[in-house]
Structure 1
Amino acid sequence: MVKMILFVALLMSSCCLGLNGASGLERIEKCGTKCSKGLRCKSKPDYIFHPVCQNPAEGLDTSSIFQNISLSTVMRCEGRQKCSLHLRIHTTLQLSESITGLSICTVTEGMMSNCQIISLKRASNQRQSGLQVEVEHDCTEISPNQSVKVTMETVPSYCGITWIGTHKAPGCSSKDLQRNVPECITGRLSYNVNPQRKELSVSVSDMLEDHNYHLRLCKKDFICTDTGAYALIKKEEPVKSATFPFSRPLPCLCIEGWSAVTDAPRVQVCPFKERVEELWFGINFDPLEETLSWEPPCRVSAVVGLCQKREDGLCMDLPHASQNASRAKISFTKVDPHPQLCMKFTTWSQSWTRCPFANARFQAWEFAVTRYQGHEGVEIMSQITADFSVELCAKSDESDECRITNAHTVHVEKHQAAGLNLKGEFCNTCLQAKRMGVEFAVTVIRCLDDCNKSWSLSSVISSQPSEPLTWVIVTVGVCLSGVIIITLVLHILLTVNQKRKQKRSCSSKKQIDASIKSVVPAFHTQVLIPDSPSCGNTEKAVLIRD
């Protein structure tokens, strides 16, 4: 049991040493000046303007006056979250009959010099000459991340015996300072993301006591730009949290928090910093100016270019169509909108492709192989008036490249189609078309399917542009509708004419029946006369007897 208690005590002491030593600054209960060898140390403020230095006494070794000089930072605490930083100056001073102490001056940027004179005296009347005494002074208060210039001189001041050094205090990145020094206490932020509702729930802990706390969403660049989402957490609130809506999970969207004090340090966490793919949205196209543009929502180092997407999914870069992106808007002018035209974003580690015309919303023209009466042809249908380059190329078994054998220019009027009639025999033949008059355009390839068919490029460009297939379908539909309407009218007229004839037939038949009735008794016969259904009688026959 005793061994167990000793082990726990040893473990706790090790933890405490770790907090106050290796992983934190050394603590002091109070500041002061200390010296060794039984000397009395006394410090007092020195004047800003020092007297003129004196020449050293004969036989004084000026090179060994100051030795083993070190500068460090220590922490003095008066309670939780109420700690301050102090500069500790340590040196070994060799005394002589002519040196009775030293002067220490510290200067920080924007502040006046602070000087202290440290007098060294023996408790007895023994001689001090030749003694080496260690002197330590730690009453100079400094701020986090502050640079301090330290100057040490002898008392009295001898010319040529001066030591100058600099020291920089640790910054607020130190966990020890973040927990204990008010200037470094930022609070700790934790968050939960609700992707369905697009909300960020933020909680604050370890905030500066007895002070309110600010929270906001911002976009991180050189500074964090406010997005308008803000909350003030009151110090008396038991639950210190807030909820923020967001539109897109951008990698530069961050949560920023700081205490409600002057010049308070701020803490930032960025929940979506790995979501780089969210940057490649917001591509815009102006159909009037034929301009394709994209503006980065966050600062990013990327190369933005245009490419043509192939059937196998690869996107081949267009020549002279790449720009470096940082924060400025990227624009490509005179762009031919086509489903195969895409924008490629490349960073140092990965590439992404976005195809803004994939839904054919802005497609200006179409290039298609058609078949009519056993012959294949090619049509270019355009929604705008434009010129097109059409090239005939042949493929070989040795290479995948299509060797151009013939080239032509085709002019197509707005909402019209230009046809290419093919007759003869051409195997492994393709046609590739590209819109002219623009700076960035894709090349569309259409290949002839069957080598057993015969094609030739006779009269490559039709003398008269053919109507698009859509107009042909509309014309056929109108003709069919006309035929149906005329047939219905003729059917109605024929039905009316038949009814009129039936009425006249029924009236004459009744007269004949009356005469028969008057004649029948004379012949003493039976006559079975069928009655016409069209005359309004529902019986099948009428039996006439004498």
Structure 2
Amino acid sequence: MILWVALLMAHCSLGLNGASAESTGLERIEKCDTRCSQGLHCRSKPDSLFPPPCQPPAEGLNTSSVFHNISLSTVMRCEGRQKCSLHLRIKTALHLTEFTHGVSICTVTAGMMANCQIFSFTRASRERMSGLQVEVENDCTNISPSQQVQVTLKTVPSYCGVTWTGTYEAPECISKDLRQHVPECITGRLSYDVIPQRRELRVSVSDMLENYNYHLRLCRKDFICIDTGVNKLIKKEEPVKSTTLPYSRPLPCLCIEGWSAVMDAPRVQVCPFKDRLEELWFGINFDPLEGTLSWEPSCPVTAVVRLCQKREDSVCVDLPHASQNVSREKIRFTEVDPHPQLCMKFTAGSQSWIRCPFTDTRFQAWEVIVTRRQGQENVTMLSQITATFSVGLCVKSERSTVCQVTETHTMQVEKHKAVGLNLAGERCNICLQVKRLDVKFAATIVHCLEQCNQTLPVRLVISSRASWILTWVVVPAGVCLSSIIIFTLFLHILLSVYQRRRQEERKNGGCTSKKQTDPAFDCVVPALPTQPVVRGGVLIPDSPQCGNNEKANLISN
């Protein structure tokens, strides 16, 4: 029982020690120092910048057994809660002989000159401990987080071939111990609340670097975080370390970035909308002159973009050879027919989103118009541009959604000139399949007719706009024009008769003949002609019996 209790206490003690070590993180030191094995007295001094060249090993010196168990580690020295520094601890064991007077340790970091120290042993201690294994430990080399250090060990004096070289990388700032106590790693902690109604982010900062202001901003994350222009400064004197940042769109790459107002301060980022991929599939543009459909991602994303045709059941069927991979660059699809059923499908991972940019009919280049008159369906095709189409007659079965083409025609439709697409002898389940041929990417449109006639054979009749105009425009216009002309002639005749009567009434105003019996006549002219009288070369005809008539004089030569 006593043995069992002792083992249990030992186990608990080890567990507590392990937990304590885990909670404290890096080992703390009060001050940096150089330590040697007990009984070995060592003193440190800077090494020369230009040390003498190495010398051949002395006889009896085993070059392979001089250095043993070399270890490199990081310790922390603190002067306050947020004023801790990192130190490199170098520890080595060596076989001490009369030829070894000390150890030289050099450290080199990128962009810095070598820092070399000599740790020499006193002659008395060398003679006393010659032939034994001794240890030398030094932790006075300052290092920075994530810094790489090259370490070189040599003997004093320096013997050729008796060296050790290694590389050490300091811990990163991801350690909680470093993020709380080392100024180079203190970024502050950000917490936020999203206010979607006002499109604002309420941001609070904790564990920021003491006695310094703090910067906050919104940025779009890429290779670097690109500033959006929304910046705030939290003063160190403010008791509440919080502010609001307005945003326009909840993009997945929109992040909150914070850092202390010191030189080369580390930064922390949190991205509130990192899962909102659906916000990326906007900003689709179409150039109607070039027929180019383009889209540029607002954030870097790995996705596939395809063109597809949306069916009535909301399933978008991919068009052949119409897919592109996306990361950061703008994508373009050239020679695209803008039709409401033509859409873009965005696929990222296992999710897909459909966007149909041509649902607004102002982009629609052509359409099939179906009208119904007296139980007869008339199909007309009208295009806003001159284009070439494939028009087919197809039959759709009840069990399949695929329309089997039985007859196909290629036709060119001129701009703003309608073409009739009529069926001679319709029957059940008959459809028209139309597709534009003068572009790379176009939807295949199927229009099914409601008529059902099982007795007559089916034939597609394509009528030009001329016959359509003759039937529905020219004939009614001709009838109207003829009516106007006839009405005008009738009015002209009535007006002529009226004017003639008025003239006759004016002429009858001076007549005195007693033979006048009809009031419709104004004058009576003799029925038999009389011979004119010639007087002095002037021909004077007989005067009529109306006193108001003018004389007609003929002057002869």
TM-score by length of 1: 0.79
- The letter of the residue matching 2:468 is S
Distance, in Å, in 2 between the alignment partners of 1:326 and 1:106 is: 43
Distance, in Å, in 2 between the alignment partners of 1:354 and 1:292 is: 12
Contact (CA 8 Å) 1:40, 1:121: kept in 2 or not?
yes
Q: Does 1:218 align with 2:199?
A: no
Distance, in Å, in 1 between the alignment partners of 2:36 and 2:228 is: 57
Distance, in Å, in 2 between the alignment partners of 1:357 and 1:282 is: 13
The aligned counterpart of 2:231 is: 230
3-state SS in 1 of match to 2:463: coil
The aligned counterpart of 1:273 is: 274
Seen in structure 2, the aligned counterparts of structure 1 residues 13 and 398 have a Cα distance that, compared at 3 Å, is closer
Deviations 1:149-199 (A, max 9, x none): 000011111111000011000111221111111111111111111001100
The aligned counterpart of 2:468 is: 466
Seen in structure 2, the aligned counterparts of structure 1 residues 292 and 126 have a Cα distance that, compared at 3 Å, is closer
- The letter of the residue matching 1:315 is C
Deviations 1:498-532 (A, max 9, x none): xxxxxxxxxxxxxxxxxxxxxxxxxxxxxxxxxxx
Contact (CA 8 Å) 1:420, 1:462: kept in 2 or not?
no
**Could you tell which deviates more after superposition, 170-179 or 212-221?**
170-179
Q: Quote how far apart the aligned CAs of 1:126 are.
A: 5.2
Q: Quote how far apart the aligned CAs of 1:268 are.
A: 0.7
The aligned counterpart of 2:34 is: 33
Distance, in Å, in 2 between the alignment partners of 1:124 and 1:284 is: 84
3-state SS in 1 of match to 2:424: coil
Distance, in Å, in 2 between the alignment partners of 1:285 and 1:465 is: 36
Runs of 4 or more above 6 Å deviation = 8-14, 122-125
Distance, in Å, in 1 between the alignment partners of 2:221 and 2:163 is: 47
Q: Quote how far apart the aligned CAs of 1:244 are.
A: 1.1
- Please show how residues 446-461 of structure 1 align to structure 2 within 5 Å: 446-452=447-453, 454=456, 456-457=458-459, 459-461=461-463
Q: Does 1:348 align with 2:349?
A: yes
Instruction: Specify which of 19, 22, 25 is matched with residue 18 of structure 1.
Output: 22
Distance, in Å, in 1 between the alignment partners of 2:167 and 2:412 is: 78
Q: Quote how far apart the aligned CAs of 1:233 are.
A: 1.2
The aligned counterpart of 1:393 is: 394
Seen in structure 2, the aligned counterparts of structure 1 residues 269 and 462 have a Cα distance that, compared at 3 Å, is same
- The letter of the residue matching 2:22 is G
| Structure 2 alignment gaps of length 5 or more | 1-11, 481-557
Q: Does 1:253 align with 2:249?
A: no
3-state SS in 2 of match to 1:440: coil
The aligned counterpart of 1:117 is: 118
Contact (CA 8 Å) 2:40, 2:129: kept in 1 or not?
no
The aligned counterpart of 2:506 is: none
3-state SS in 2 of match to 1:19: helix
Contact (CA 8 Å) 2:102, 2:118: kept in 1 or not?
yes
The aligned counterpart of 1:513 is: none
The aligned counterpart of 2:525 is: none
Contact (CA 8 Å) 1:56, 1:158: kept in 2 or not?
yes
Q: Does 1:312 align with 2:313?
A: yes
Distance, in Å, in 1 between the alignment partners of 2:265 and 2:467 is: 75
Seen in structure 2, the aligned counterparts of structure 1 residues 465 and 351 have a Cα distance that, compared at 3 Å, is farther
Distance, in Å, in 2 between the alignment partners of 1:225 and 1:124 is: 63
Contact (CA 8 Å) 1:421, 1:462: kept in 2 or not?
no
Deviations 1:87-126 (A, max 9, x none): 0011111100111211100001100111111112376685
- The letter of the residue matching 2:462 is V
Distance, in Å, in 1 between the alignment partners of 2:73 and 2:187 is: 25
The aligned counterpart of 1:158 is: 159
Contact (CA 8 Å) 2:101, 2:126: kept in 1 or not?
no
Contact (CA 8 Å) 2:393, 2:460: kept in 1 or not?
no
Deviations 1:382-431 (A, max 9, x none): 33333322011234578654332221133334444321221225444321
| Structure 1 alignment gaps of length 5 or more | 1-7, 480-546
Q: Quote how far apart the aligned CAs of 1:236 are.
A: 1.0
Distance, in Å, in 2 between the alignment partners of 1:16 and 1:209 is: 27
3-state SS in 1 of match to 2:362: coil
Q: Does 1:205 align with 2:206?
A: yes
Q: Quote how far apart the aligned CAs of 1:460 are.
A: 3.1
Q: Quote how far apart the aligned CAs of 1:334 are.
A: 2.3
Deviations 1:311-356 (A, max 9, x none): 1111111122222222222222222211101011112332111011
Q: What's the % identity of the aligned pairs?
A: 69
Seen in structure 2, the aligned counterparts of structure 1 residues 207 and 425 have a Cα distance that, compared at 3 Å, is closer
- The letter of the residue matching 1:79 is G
Q: Quote how far apart the aligned CAs of 1:357 are.
A: 1.5
The aligned counterpart of 1:71 is: 72
Contact (CA 8 Å) 2:73, 2:88: kept in 1 or not?
yes
Seen in structure 2, the aligned counterparts of structure 1 residues 125 and 254 have a Cα distance that, compared at 3 Å, is closer
Distance, in Å, in 1 between the alignment partners of 2:72 and 2:66 is: 17
- Please show how residues 35-50 of structure 1 align to structure 2 within 5 Å: 35-50=36-51
Distance, in Å, in 1 between the alignment partners of 2:399 and 2:236 is: 78
Deviations 1:62-93 (A, max 9, x none): 11110011111111111111011100011111
The aligned counterpart of 1:381 is: 382
- The letter of the residue matching 1:107 is V
Contact (CA 8 Å) 1:66, 1:91: kept in 2 or not?
yes
Q: Quote how far apart the aligned CAs of 1:292 are.
A: 1.7
Distance, in Å, in 1 between the alignment partners of 2:80 and 2:376 is: 95
Distance, in Å, in 1 between the alignment partners of 2:47 and 2:348 is: 60
Distance, in Å, in 1 between the alignment partners of 2:126 and 2:379 is: 118
Task: Give aligned pairs, total.
Answer: 464
TM-score by length of 2: 0.78
Contact (CA 8 Å) 2:40, 2:126: kept in 1 or not?
no
3-state SS in 2 of match to 1:388: strand
Distance, in Å, in 1 between the alignment partners of 2:126 and 2:233 is: 67
3-state SS in 2 of match to 1:18: helix
Contact (CA 8 Å) 2:418, 2:464: kept in 1 or not?
no
Contact (CA 8 Å) 2:392, 2:406: kept in 1 or not?
yes
